[in-house]
Structure 1
Amino acid sequence: MAETMRVHTLMGEDLLFLTDDKLRRGIEAMFFAYRAFTADPDLILAGLDYGRAHHRALHFIHRDPGLTVTALLDVLGVTKQSLNRVLRTLIEDGLVESRVGRRDRRERHLHLTEKGAALERRLSEAQRARMRQAYRAAGPQAVAGFRQVLEAMMDPETRAQYQSMKDLPE
């Protein structure tokens, strides 16, 4: 039985954007956008024998200097073993310092060295330029809608974690 195209409404809103084809195109757009977003840093990382996990660690340590290893584990959502490999490399290469906690000596607080900050800046410059150009082209309403869609895709715990990070200095 052939279905005819009908406009469904919910509280007066057109829901044609929820068709399987539109959702598939949105998924594909995310895949291609992510590929473009990571392309420049990937080239830099490959030359240093690092991967995206190294980049994410550098990003979040830069974002929150003094972040504990436990907090970074929580933010990245990786295993302790996986993070330990990444941190060991970054520390051995002089990009990250691990300092003993003042209140709790069992805690390790992470800080970027000057070398680590320079690499993080290099990795994020191209991404910021790409985001800036896209934001400028899309306009403020689209940017707000984009962020709203991204936050709506997060599960409640992840969204709470992300929202708590918005309070950090940018």
Structure 2
Amino acid sequence: MSQNTQPQVGQSLLFLTDEQVRQGIEAMFFAYRGFTADPDRILSEKAYGRAHHRAIHFIHRSPGTTVNNLIAILGVTKQSLNRVLRTLVADGLVSSTVGARDKRERHLHLTEAGAALERELSNAQRDRMRSAYRAAGPEAVVGFRQVLEAMMDDDMRGAYETMKDRAE
């Protein structure tokens, strides 16, 4: 077969079998388990769960974010987020201030203790990501990010892009 008629590796992946897709799904489940294992250990020592971790992460990424914005990003109910926030505020990890323009808004910030916990949790996940990225190589890193972005719902992709733009 000449080079022109040989399928490109990327093109052949466009026609995945159900089994290949299933393997990808299972790999994602097991990778997620590994990705959350280190933070889960840290959180369990403090009697917190993944909901606390997600709240801390996104409050760190968007200091001053509102409760309503956090609800939209996390896709949770106000009631469930309020349970998490009450604990984080009571434990001195998050501060909640009334909005200057709208007194109904609550703006969230990490305290010094909250920022320290966020660093500890993020460092564990960054170490795991760096190790995986190094093992996979730069092309795989770009492809992995493209796959993750393609899996996002449109509204979440918008929130992700906004957060990504702020970081740059």
User: TM-score with structure 2 length normalisation?
Assistant: 0.91
2:26 partner amino acid:
E
SS class of match (2:107): strand
Matched, 1:48 2:36: no
Alignment root-mean-square deviation, CA? 1.7
User: TM-score with structure 1 length normalisation?
Assistant: 0.90
Alignment gaps of 5+ in structure 1: 1-8
Figure out how many residues of one structure are paired with residues of the other and give that number: 161
Q: Write the distance in 1 (CA, Å) between the matches of 2:24 and 2:46.
A: 33
Q: 1:106 aligns with which of 87, 104, 108?
A: 104
Deviations 1:37-62 (A, max 9, x none): 00010011111110000000000000
Match of 1:115 in 2: 113
Give structure 1 regions of 4+ aligned residues with deviation exceeding 2 angstroms. Answer: none
Query: Is the contact made by 1:69 and 1:110 (CA closer than 8 Å) also made in structure 2?
Result: yes
Query: Is the contact made by 1:17 and 1:23 (CA closer than 8 Å) also made in structure 2?
Result: no
Structure 1 residues 101 and 110, CA, compared in 2 at 3 Å: closer, same or farther?
same
Match of 2:65 in 1: 67
Alignment gaps of 5+ in structure 2: 1-6
Query: Is the contact made by 1:97 and 1:112 (CA closer than 8 Å) also made in structure 2?
Result: yes
Query: Is the contact made by 1:66 and 1:110 (CA closer than 8 Å) also made in structure 2?
Result: yes
Q: Write the distance in 2 (CA, Å) between the matches of 1:106 and 1:16.
A: 49
Match of 1:4 in 2: none
**More moved, 51-60 vs 158-167:** 158-167
Matched, 1:18 2:16: yes
Q: Write the distance in 2 (CA, Å) between the matches of 1:82 and 1:72.
A: 12
